[in-house]
Structure 1
Amino acid sequence: MKHLAGRLGTLLAVLAVIGLLPRLTRTDPALTILHARYADRPPTPETLDAIRAETGLDGGAAHVLGDWLGGLLHGDLGTSWVSGQPVAPEVTAALGVSLTLMGVSLAVALLLAAALCAGTLRRGARRRIVTARAGAGAAVLAALPEFLLAAVLATVVAVQLGWLPALGWGAPEQLVLPALAMGIPAGALLGRLLDDALPAAFAEPWARAAAAGGLPGRRVARHALRRTLPGLLPQLGLAVVGLTGGAVAVETLYAIPGLGGTALAAALAQDLPVLQACVLLLLLLGVTAGAAARLAARALLGPALREGALPALVPPALPARRLLTAGAVALAVLLAAVTVAGLLRDPLHVDAAARLAGPSAAHPFGTDSLGRDVLARLGHGAARTVLTAVAVCAVTLLLGLLLGAVRAGALTESANALPAVLGGLVVAGVAGPGPWGAAVAVAALAWAPLAAHTSALYAQERAAPHLAAARSMGAGRLHLARRHLLPAVVPPVLRHAVLRVPAVALALASLGFLGLGARPPAPEWGRMLSENLPYAERAPWSVLAPAAALAALGALSVLTATAVRGRARGLAGAA
């Protein structure tokens, strides 16, 4: 009950923030409405006061929040500040488009997950030694952001090969590339988790007894699959939440009239009633997916849900993988070399005579549409993105340690289930697009995994016998924290925060791709990708260079984490 109350309180707090967006924004809503609807009127105080009275923005925060919540209860989502039309019909139509895209993307994800674990299930059905095979390849696919896959698919499949349309909505073939871009990362994640869990299920005593008793191998495989699914259903819920965040970039890139594209356009235009409705619906989609996943897990477990009736699956220990470590080092060296080479060049120098020039000795990675050197912009963009990511990780480390120590479980789970893109849209609606807003949006959500790690280590250390012995000898709270708790909790969480730097950099790049990060002409990898997409047919190198850099960053994140995890498990098994 306490956990449910915490979740409900967090949801109400998020709703309050969404409802108060018109009061939180740093711009005057009346000016936004005046410029959008009555451009011929001067912004006199009388005119602005009349607009505030007409739209109900002349009251305080409680009045604005009450009006918005009251409208929700009656199905009224407000009136657009830009068009002056009711918001509900627009977002309802967009919701139908997004649900269709998300449904097909989820089908792609499930098919890919089934393909990744099919070999493991076949070996288990034939009673052979079962080991996970999805490996680092699936992990790298899972780490690639949707906007990157969408850009590469549009450049290669649609523009270069001409197999499928790159824009639009309505025809079945226009659904293929967006669904692949959103479904592949989610499917790779689910497939790898399922493939990692199946060997432990086949190694349990019940599976051995069933095989010894002559139960058909296919039936054992089905039971093993059912045994692993409840633990993975929460991840399926998070994958659906990830689809809501990915929809913003994918719908924008492919010109799909869904909730994501509508929300981004509203955030950039400061049309806060439309942004409120879109973010609310995207949030409700994520909450509904998470609740459905938990209910499905309870239904699959059945009577075994009782505490202690079914032990947790323990994945097999992984040896330290030298190949993964070598791959991580090679990628890190390559990215460092590109960064250093780019830093030696001017990223803002414009050579009009060399617009969209191909790779050459003077420009190893070619030039963009303005004649700027792509290598220079990659190098300076890497420095900017990595430094910002390090600063964000430092902030999230402090937040994670503090909130993890106070056991903010419900808040941690809620923040962990929200895509960074939604945070970026809300911050853009309040403060407008900019690098600081992107950093704040990522930091506001990226602390959750560190807080969960801190909370688990803190609980484990408090139950340790040496702490009880120190307490019995008269040690005070300050001594226990300084000599026992902090040395046991801070170093592992610090290493976790360092490992998250590439993931945070990718989140910042995704907001830059959407135009919510650094403003032109600042070099930033995500913005480079979006700026050069219109020239993908004439100069594919201008798109593929930042895409390759982002893909290498995602691969580096996965390989480093996997190598560290494998080495830690190998050392634990040896001990």
Structure 2
Amino acid sequence: MPRPVLPASLVRLVSRVVAAAGLLLVIGLLPWLARTDPALTVLRTRSAEQEPTAEVLAAIRREIGLDAGPLALLGRWCAGLPRGDLGTSWLSGEPVGPTLAAALSVSLTLMLGAVLVTLTVAALLTARTAINGARRRGKPGSGTTGALLAALPEFLLATVLATVVAVQWGWAPAQGWDGPASMVLPSLALGVPAGAILGRLLGDALPAAYAEPWASSTTAHGLPTRRIVAHALRRCLPPLLPQLALMMIGLTGGAVAVENLYAIPGLGRLTLNAAIAADLPVLQGAALALLLLGALVGGLAQLGRRLLLGPALRDHALPALHPPRRTASRWAVTVPVGLLLLLGTTIGLGLLRDPLTVDLTARLAAPSWAHPLGTDALGRDLLARLGHGALRTIAVALAVSAATLVIGILLGLLPRATVGLVDVANAVPPVVAGLLVVGVAGRDTGSAALAITLVSWAALASHTAALVEQERAANHLVAAVGLGAGRWHLLRRHLLPAVLPAVFRHAVLRVPAIALALASLGFLGLGTQPPAPEWGRLLAENLPYAERAPWSVLGPAAALALLGALAVGTAALSWRDRPTRSASATPAAAPARSREPALAGRP
């Protein structure tokens, strides 16, 4: 008798509820897990002058309910949810609900502006690939521009825009939230790197769509270029919609550094301040808002996939995209090797110098033979600090990327059961995750790496799940099942070989993003502690002097950009290793995918 199978929607709902409950439980236990006394933190936030005597701390504990224990405190908070009562702030004494609603409205407005910038940048970066592919001529773009843009730290881009565009040119407000003009610079700072990542993923999928038989048929029939491009986009967008949804949530709750820099009263800034001040009710309310927003955006992404795929999703008849393999051109090999040599030489020269020697007579010195990249505010050689910081930044970023790749693939193979974990991991901003981990484990490089790992695997898991869903619809897989192939055989011989290359390229493309996340934690003082050098800390230490001594931030920013370009080159070489299929070989694949033109939209 066959085992009963639970509906997929029910499994997803249970997964989301369990994961959300687990996150809220962890946040509720934070005052008892943290190394610091939350009553002392609340006292210092309220008044830095009052003495933290035992009587004062005991009074604060009774006031905020810590004496009742974690379960009672969490139960009281959950009991107020059906009435819309999110509790009262431990610091201000005001209801959390109105404060949270105001911050959420600001963040949603900023998110919409950032998404518009993201889509615009992605369209500009992939326009050449889309048009050349539709006309069956030319080659896809190299992706170097997208790599450089994706590797720009959001906080550095926000600082440059605020300094140049707002202060020097006076074209937009430098701080505050007052009208549409206030969202221009923050939207650019958030949307440009996200658009570069989305554009690179789309640029990776378009050649695969144009290599399918339907593209050759439509071109041979003289279909206009714009319609061929539209069909190709419709073919590529379904697996990318979950990635766009993840980016939207990240742009809402993860804009902590940008919101702080521009003094925007958004959800990210509110969550960060609540985590720093141990304001548990506000932190719980913000986490709940991000989880609900993640579920809503994820549902809209799933609805968009259904509308794009139509009968293909219902009939499971749309196979996954497989990029055509090409021989690597001379430039495709030369550029990554050149970037690697440049980055390696810079790091090697820096390792030969002392990064800790202080020379106050050479503060903020311009680049010279003695100091090729200049010095910082304490007169320390920036080339030395850049070289020694690379050992931490790159090594930790590679280790975290490898861990997120393994976790993402394993959990992506079980999409229905782990969809809640994906939502929770993506809803928690890396900075907030860093604060939670640091509160329990202390401030060091390991805590920062653990925090980034806990939240960075979600994009790879979502990508894996989308590819697996489409690969299961391939005709050769259906035939293998009909011939009696077992689950492990299908996994080893069909699913993993088809999914791993694309997810691996995605993981390589995210190495700079991992490095940027680590830099963000270092920028906020949650990673490597001084005086040890680290690229994020270098940016944090020198950003106040960026206008007076721009070379002080140019070194680490250029290193991150080189790392991004190198990641894109490596990802491109990972599939340019076989000769191109000849034109005569293309029709042979047509019978296996004969239904694709109709599914992609019949001309």
- TM-score, normalized by length of structure 2? 0.78
Query: Structure 1's 40 and 535: CA in aligned 2 closer, same or farther, altered over 3 A?
Result: closer
CA, structure 1 residues 102+402, in 2 after alignment: closer, same or farther (shift >3 Å)? Answer: closer
Q: 2:575 aligns with which of 550, 558, 565?
A: 565
Conserved? CA contact 1:199–1:315, under 8 Å? yes
Question: Given the alignment of the two structures, is residue 87 of structure 1 paired with residue 75 of structure 2, yes or no?
Answer: no
**113-122 or 7-16: bigger deviation:** 113-122
Distance 1:122 1:405, change over 3 A: closer
Q: Is the 8 A contact 1:159 1:536 kept in 2?
A: no
Pair 498,304 (structure 1): closer, same or farther in 2 beyond 3 Å: closer
Could you tell which deviates more after superposition, 554-563 or 314-323?
Answer: 314-323
Q: Which residue of 2 aligns with 1:311?
A: 319
The two structures have a TM-score, normalised by structure 1, of 0.82
Match of 1:63 among 54, 57, 72: 72
Q: Compared with structure 1, are the counterparts of its residues 332 and 81 closer, same or farther at alpha carbon in structure 2 (3 Å cutoff)?
A: farther
Q: How does 1:499-538 map to 2 (within 5 A)?
A: 503-538=513-548
CA distance in 1, matches of 2:444, 2:93: 27
Distance in 2 separating the partners of 1:18 and 1:421: 15
Report the CA distance shift for 1:110/1:447 in structure 2 as closer, same or farther (over 3 A). Answer: closer
User: Could you list the per-position Cα deviations for residues 379-426 of structure 1 after superposition, in whole angstroms to 9, with x for gaps in the alignment?
Assistant: 222122234335545765776788689997446644663553342243
Residue 595 (structure 2) aligns with: none
Instruction: Name the CA shift for 1:194/1:90 in 2 (closer, same or farther; >3 Å).
Output: same
The 1:496/1:172 distance shift into structure 2, 3 A limit, reads closer
Aligned to 1:27, which of 29, 32, 36? 36
**Residue 97, structure 1, aligned to residue 97, structure 2:** no
Which of 41, 45, 49 aligns to 1:36? It is 45
Q: Following the alignment from structure 1 to structure 2, what is the Cα–Cα distance between the partners of residues 398 and 227? A: 27
Give distance in 2, aligned partners of 1:406 and 1:225: 27
Q: Which of 320, 331, 335 is equivalent to 2:328?
A: 320
Q: 1:325-336 maps to which residues of 2 (within 5 A)? A: 325-336=333-344
**Residues 424-573 of structure 1 aligned to structure 2 (within 5 Å):** 424-430=434-440, 433-446=443-456, 503-567=513-577
The alpha-carbon deviation at position 245 of structure 1 amounts to 5.1
Counterpart of 1:97, as a letter, is: V
Aligned counterpart, 1:252: 260
Please, which of 352, 361, 369 is the counterpart of residue 377 of structure 2?
Answer: 369
Distance 1:128 1:342, change over 3 A: closer
Q: Structure 1 residue 356: deviation in Å?
A: 1.7
**Equivalent residues of 1:342, 1:376 under 8 A apart:** yes
Counterpart amino acid of 1:94? Answer: A
Paired with 1:277 and 1:422, the residues of 2 have a C-alpha distance of 13
Q: Which residue is 1:129 aligned to?
A: 136
Count of matched residue pairs? 557
Displacement after TM superposition at 1:160 (Å)? 6.2
Amino acid at match of 2:241: L
Could you tell me which residue of structure 1 aligns to residue 196 of structure 2? 188
State the SS of the aligned residue for 2:192: helix
Which of 422, 425, 433 matches 1:423? 433
* Equivalent position SS for 1:169: coil
The answer to whether the Cα contact below 8 Å between 2:151 and 2:563 also exists between their aligned partners in 1 is: no
The structural deviation recorded for 1:538 is: 1.0
Worse-superposed segment, 494-503 or 263-272: 494-503
Distance 1:55 1:416, change over 3 A: closer
CA RMSD of aligned residues (A): 4.3
In 1: Cα distance, 2:88 partner to 2:242 partner: 36
Task: Determine the C-alpha separation between the residues in 2 that align with 1:92 and 1:496.
Answer: 35
8 A Cα contact 1:26 1:430, kept in partner: yes
Pair 1:401–1:117, CA change in 2 (3 A): closer
> Match for 1:176 among 184, 197, 213?
184
Structure 2 residue 26 is the aligned partner of structure 1 residue 17:
yes
What corresponds to 1:474 in structure 2? none
After superposition, the C-alpha distances for 1:211-231 in whole angstroms (9 at most, x for unaligned) are 666766544544443343333
Mean CA deviation greater in 222-231 or 402-411: 402-411
SS in 1 for 2:576: helix
Three-state SS of the structure 2 residue aligned to 1:539 is coil
Alignment partners' CA distance in 2, 1:498 and 1:225: 23
Contact 1:234/1:294 (8 A) holds in 2: yes
TM-superposed CA distance for 1:130, in Å, is: 5.6
- Return the structure number with greater relative CO, CA threshold 8 A, min gap 6: 2
Aligned partners of 1:412 and 1:452 also within 8 Å: no
Q: Which moved more, 1:296-305 or 1:115-124?
A: 115-124
Q: In the TM superposition, what is the alpha-carbon distance from 1:552 to its structure 2 partner?
A: 1.4
Match of 1:49 in 2: 58
Q: CA offset at residue 41 of structure 1? A: 5.2
Which segments of 5 or more consecutive residues in structure 1 lack a partner in the other structure? Answer: 472-476
Whole-angstrom CA distance in 1 between matches of 2:226 and 2:410: 49
SS of the residue 1:567 aligns to = coil
Runs of 5+ in structure 2 lacking a partner?
Answer: 1-6, 587-603
2:84 is equivalent to residue 75 of structure 1: yes
Letter in 1 for 2:75: G
Following the alignment from structure 1 to structure 2, what is the Cα–Cα distance between the partners of residues 264 and 399? 27
d(CA) in 2 for partners of 1:99, 1:219: 33
After superposition, the Cα gap between the structure-2 partners of 1:399 and 1:305, relative to the gap in structure 1 and judged at 3 Å, is closer
Task: Evaluate the alpha carbon distance shift between residue 319 and residue 162 of structure 1 in structure 2; reply closer, same or farther with a 3 A threshold.
Answer: farther
**Aligned residue type for 2:121:** L
Q: Tell me the equivalent position of 2:247.
A: 239
Moved more, 496-505 or 365-374: 496-505
Q: Distance in 2 between matches of 1:190 and 1:393?
A: 18
Relative to structure 1, is the Cα distance of residues 494 and 566 closer, same or farther in structure 2, using a 3 angstrom cutoff? closer
Amino acid in structure 1 at the alignment position of 2:319: P
Maintained 8 Å contact 2:24/2:284: no
Per mean C-alpha deviation after superposition, the further-off stretch among 391-400 and 358-367 is 391-400
Q: 2-side partners of 1:387 and 1:201: how far apart?
A: 35
Q: CA deviation at 1:79?
A: 2.9
Partners of 1:385 and 1:194 in 2: how far apart?
28
Shift of 1:541: 0.7
For the residues of structure 2 that align with 1:285 and 1:358, how far apart are their CA atoms? Answer: 47
C-alpha distance 340-135 of structure 1, shift in aligned 2 (>3 A):
closer
Alpha-carbon deviations, 1:109-153, whole Å to 9, x = none?
Answer: 1222333344455567xx621666343135403344433432443
Within 5 A, what are the aligned runs for 1:291-310? 291-310=299-318
CA distance in 1, matches of 2:212, 2:47: 71
CA positional deviation for 1:270: 3.2
**5 Å matches for 1:143-154?**
143-154=151-162
> What is the alpha-carbon distance in structure 2 between the residues aligned to residue 325 and residue 373 of structure 1?
33
